[in-house]
Amino acid sequence: MAVNPAKRRKLDGEASLDQAISVAVRQPTTFVLETDELLKESRLDYEKSFEGVDDSLRRIKTSIESIEPHEPVPIADAAKKLKKAHKIRVPFPEPAPPKDSNYKLSYAKPEQFNVVGSYVSKTMVKTQEDRTVDMIIVLPREVLQEKDYLNMRYYYKRAYYAAQIAAALQKEFEGTANFAFECLNDNPLLPVVAVTTKKMSTKKSKRINEEDPTANAQPQAEFKIRVIPCAPDGYFPKQKITAAAGLIRSGGDEDKKTVHPPTPFYNSTLKAEASFVSYLRVLKQAEKTCASFKDACMLGRIWLQQRGFGGSVSRGGFGHFEWSVLMALLLQTGGRKDTAALSPSLNSTQLFKATIQYLAAMDFSKKPFILGQAKEAPDAIRESGPVVYDAIRQLNIAFKMSASSADMLHQYAKWTHSLLNEKSADQFTPTFITKVDQPSLMYDLNASLELPEAFDDSSHDSRGKLASFCNKVHSVLKRALGNRAQLVSVGTVALPSWSITEHPAKPVESRVSIHVIFDPVNASRQVDHGPPAEEKKEAEKFQRFWGEKSELRRFKDGSILETLIWSSTTPADLCEEIMRYILPLHLKITANSVGLTFYGRGFSSLVTSSQSDTAAFSAARAAFEAFEQDVRGLEDIPLHVRQIAPICAELRNATVNPPTFGSAKSAPRPMDVVIFFEASGKWPENIAAIQRAKIAFLLKIGSLLEEAKRDVTTHLGLEDAQSELENLAFLDVIYESGAAFRLRIHSDLEEVLLDRRTKDKSLDQHIRTESATLLANFRRLYTHLPLHTTMFKTYTTRFPALSPTIRLLKRWFDAHKLTSHFPPDLLELFALHVFLQPHPWPQPSSATTGFLRTLLFLSRWDWRSEPLTIDTSSQSNPTPDTDNQLSTPLDPAAASTRLQAWRNLDPAMNRVVLLAVTQSDPAGTAHTTLAGHPAPGKVVAARMTALARSAIRVVREKGVEIGAPDAGKQLLFVPALADFDMRIVLDRKALKAASRVWEGEDPEADADEGVVARKFKNLDARTGAMPLPVGVHPAALLVEQLSRVYSGPLVFFRGAEDDVVIGGVWNPLVQRRSFRVNLLGSYKPVAADGDSEMKDGGESEGSDGEDDVVEVNREGIIAEIARIGGDLIERIEVKGQ
């Protein structure tokens, strides 16, 4: 077909335009807009925050310049002199120079002053912890010698220089500023002078206050200036201080060819000292070439800060400086064939994403990461720790990082990277807003370990004893835990600063903290297999590492392997057992000494998650399958069975206590199931008649089952139905083993009829509303709950930590007496949400993290304006990139629109409070409403949020301590009983008695049931007979009835079944009102009777209009409750009495 070429061209042009637009817009715009907003919010007002800083810097400069130079004097004399004159102790790094050392120190005017760091580049953010201006002072060449790189000489000179500066500044700033020495980036070699302004230029601020009174409220701008002495650019011969060189040489014979152990940290510090200015140039260059470089740096700073990363050694050694240098270098090099990896035309989010991708792809600790063309031999670059090597400046940028922090950074980047690739998730909040490094929320196991006295730092590097101990612990644990752990991190606290007149401070805590994230797949392994015995070398290595624990075993498949057998059962216990074994073995600490403390099992006493529980759940499952077989095996059922679906929490591994049966003492607890038949035209076309037909059906199934199976008894039970249109009956099937099932029948015609009744416009509004409620109940029971159960059966298998998380969460709701208001399936969805949207963390791998993160979610969830969306589509499809079209992800926008519509329709939230949208229920109300009422109601949902918030606050405050034995239980699981207006304390004994009822037991109550007693002679005798099944616990039954009676004035709160205290709160909205018929609740006339207080009488006398006012008769209602509860209630406590 010939197409007119001119027209074709036009079409092509159009296409390219179209493409350009779509490329520009295809970027996830929300994320870009959000980051823009974040940047706008975070930008610091430098004028205000650093008011007067230039002035101070100038004064610092002039005062340093005016220091009197002096000729070389021996080191001890110089230090003494300084002490005498200014009381300043020279902060010599360890080991301090010997007294009789013949090194000489001199002082001369600095070569150069420069302000560096994020103050210059204006990349600070509002939320950063300290606002610091870094000023470097380049040591003049006169005071240095080339050989100073050896044996700490340079560092001694630098320390002396810093002390001189401190002396000068102290004189200049007398009383207006605080002075301290601190270690730059926790590097013990580099003491610097920190000047903290006290009250800057009071005169000036006064004047401002007069002009602008609002400024009065503003606190004085407070900032810190660090005065950092450093070496001249490129002063030291770089080829002599490569990573492999050993520069701390004991014995003094420097020229002899003895091999000195390498001191990479010492060397890199030295190189970094001489490259401040060149990196400043690199950054300036990047700022100039790439417009959005600064913004990307700020994003990087926020990202790192939220993850607890910083430039100092104790914070991982990868901070804003390293981030921006890495990015600047990637703008020049790092790509294929030494081209630039990043393009300067990228915008800030793209730069950020690309850098994250880089960090996610590179594992520094495994393989040195070289930027640019390295001229040196690989040996000169490689070191034991992580390496990011800048080839041009020949420096390992990551020299402050440890293997542990490099691992952690790598993991963080990987998690963020995967989040940024996930289109349906909220990318912004987890990336920048959430505080990620909260140990109790992030790690499955936290421990701390005392630095043993006996530990001997075998390396000659100058990281410090604690840091090398850290590294050792990390390498031992990493090897010992292997693939049990996704991440092992070992860290210390920061080095403190010290007053300039004192000795350098020792680390406040000589403890290292150990954190582990489990790999849920492997963490519960009890047997570790080592190499086979034939591989001598490997086997020997294995034995050497594991010591006596390693034993040879022969396995079923004939292999003979080195094996480790552990005795614990849960992941946390296993991990603890291994650590308690391996750390003493390698680190010379005693096994159960106080040195090793674990914070991992604070919650384990609340919910057991051992294998026996798993077994109990599978036993329940097996019993259900047997039951299904039995029903399917029946021959004479009029309709063919299509499906029998479980709908109860026991059969989806989600109850607090695992299902138990077989104990004759307690009544059987039936598990709910529904049965579906083939579609049939035989159902009568009338809802009431369908309900009756179901009863006949159930009776038939019951008698058939009893006939077919000897060990089965069945009971037909009546629902507490309010109308003939509801489901009227169920069949309890009880096996002799104790397993019991509650069967309900599904009829497809019922749904059709209800639907038709709901939509029939000719019917009364109240009939249609009633039908809509019935239809919702129907769908919940027969559609949503079976699907929900199947879904959770799958997910509890896929995520081993999900089931214990749900159980712990339900325990929490129990403890706070919220359970009675929440459908169990909704709580399960809360927990699942945290597993499906775990960002910024990986999926929880233990009950504790899962539980705490669920609380975090609940504390943050603004359910007034956000629906809960459970999107399972990305999970069912493990590779989201390949074929996203196949699964239909939930549309979060549609869910929000729906919630918005509900809020417009029902602003008081009387019908819908929470909205939980799932794949199977896009309407979002199946799990949040029960029988037409919101479950939970608004008041209860608000209480849930408040409780979750305070729980999270406690978790934040306590840190790892929350995991200490009993701490978590005491802090999070004790209800605030004082909050309740009324506490109903039930009688345990009476409850227990009431939960066991035998057929035809109580003659007096049985007067109308005499027929029953006579008919079932065999069940008459209580001996041997099983009590009647208990579907609803008596306490729950009582609360249910009371809630129904007092739906207006009172809200009841009930927790677990064994919790005997029921809370009650008076509805604050239902207090006084004018009298009319059909008030909800019992009212008394105000000032009508003798007991009423005179005060009230006065009020009603005052105005005639209030004549008909009545108020809630609280005492009357409480007395009524006492009568209804009878012997079940031990006492009722009323607030304030």
Find the binder of another protein among 793, 1079, 1096, 1099 (CB under 8 A): 1079
State yes or no: residue 904 binds another protein (CB under 8 A): no
State yes or no: residue 840 binds another protein (CB under 8 A): no
State yes or no: residue 74 binds another protein (CB under 8 A): no
DSSP code at position 555 = -
State yes or no: residue 718 binds another protein (CB under 8 A): yes
Q: Peptide bond before 98: cis, by omega within 30 degrees of 0? A: no
SS3 551: strand
Segment interacting with another protein (CB under 8 A) among 84-92, 373-381, 503-511, 1005-1013: 1005-1013
What DSSP letter does each residue of 211-266 carry, written as one string? H-GGGGGSPPP--EEEEEEEPPTT-S-GGGS-TT-----TTS-TTS-PPPPP-HHH
d(CA 976, CA 846): 27
Find the binder of another protein among 222, 450, 1001, 1106 (CB under 8 A): 1001
Closest CA to 512 of 545, 489, 540, 533: 489
Residues 844-903 that bind another protein (CB under 8 A): 862, 893
d(CA 59, CA 257): 49
State yes or no: residue 1078 binds another protein (CB under 8 A): yes
Q: Identify residue 573 by its one-letter amino acid code.
A: D
Segment interacting with another protein (CB under 8 A) among 192-200, 404-412, 587-595, 1037-1045: 1037-1045
- Return the number of the residue (343 or 723) whose C-beta is nearest another protein: 723
Closest CA to 126 of 214, 38, 36: 38
The DSSP bridge pattern shows strands 1109-1112 and 369-371 to be unpaired
SS3 491: strand
**Pattern of binders to another protein over 411-450, x per CB under 8 A?**
------------------x--xxxx---------------
Residues 303-322 that bind another protein (CB under 8 A): 305-306
Those residues with Cβ within 8 angstroms of residue 567's Cβ, 6 or more apart along the chain or in another chain: 526, 577
- Return the number of the residue (607 or 687) whose C-beta is nearest another protein: 687
CB of 1063 to another protein, least distance (A): 16
- Return the number of the residue (844 or 1125) whose C-beta is nearest another protein: 1125
CB of 1056 to another protein, least distance (A): 18
- Return the number of the residue (218 or 680) whose C-beta is nearest another protein: 680
Find the binder of another protein among 70, 1012, 1058, 1072 (CB under 8 A): 1012
CB of 72 to another protein, least distance (A): 49
Closest CA to 495 of 466, 461, 522: 466
Closest CA to 725 of 698, 753, 697, 759: 753
Segment interacting with another protein (CB under 8 A) among 722-730, 787-795, 924-932, 965-973: 722-730
**Pattern of binders to another protein over 269-308, x per CB under 8 A?**
---------------------------------x--xx--
CB of 731 to another protein, least distance (A): 10
CB of 813 to another protein, least distance (A): 24
Find the binder of another protein among 12, 14, 45, 254 (CB under 8 A): 14
Residues 551-590 that bind another protein (CB under 8 A): none
The residue behind tokens 């020792």 is 506
d(CA 1078, CA 1048): 11
State yes or no: residue 174 binds another protein (CB under 8 A): no
Residues 724-743 that bind another protein (CB under 8 A): 724-725, 728-729, 732
Is the torsion defined by CA of 813, 814, 817, 823 positive or negative?
positive
**Pattern of binders to another protein over 372-411, x per CB under 8 A?**
----------------------------------------
The residue behind tokens 């109990």 is 616
State yes or no: residue 684 binds another protein (CB under 8 A): yes
Q: CB burial class (10 A; 0-12, 13-18, 19+) of residue 987?
A: middle
State yes or no: residue 349 binds another protein (CB under 8 A): no
Q: Identify residue 69 by its one-letter amino acid code.
A: P
Residues 16-45 that bind another protein (CB under 8 A): 18, 21-22, 25, 29-30, 33-34, 37-38, 41-42
State yes or no: residue 990 binds another protein (CB under 8 A): yes
- Return the number of the residue (686 or 797) whose C-beta is nearest another protein: 686
Residues 192-231 that bind another protein (CB under 8 A): none
d(CA 774, CA 780): 10
- Return the number of the residue (594 or 1005) whose C-beta is nearest another protein: 1005
Q: How far apart are the first and last CA of the chain?
A: 95
CB of 287 to another protein, least distance (A): 23
DSSP code at position 878 = S
d(CA 179, CA 176): 10
CB of 119 to another protein, least distance (A): 20
- Return the number of the residue (565 or 1080) whose C-beta is nearest another protein: 1080
Kindly determine how many residues on this chain lie close enough to bind another protein according to the rule CB under 8 A.
119
Measure CA 335 to chain center: 35
Torsion of CA 748, 749, 755, 760, to 10 degrees: 170
Other Cβ atoms less than 10 A from the Cβ of 893: the count is: 8
Is the torsion defined by CA of 120, 123, 126, 128 positive or negative?
negative
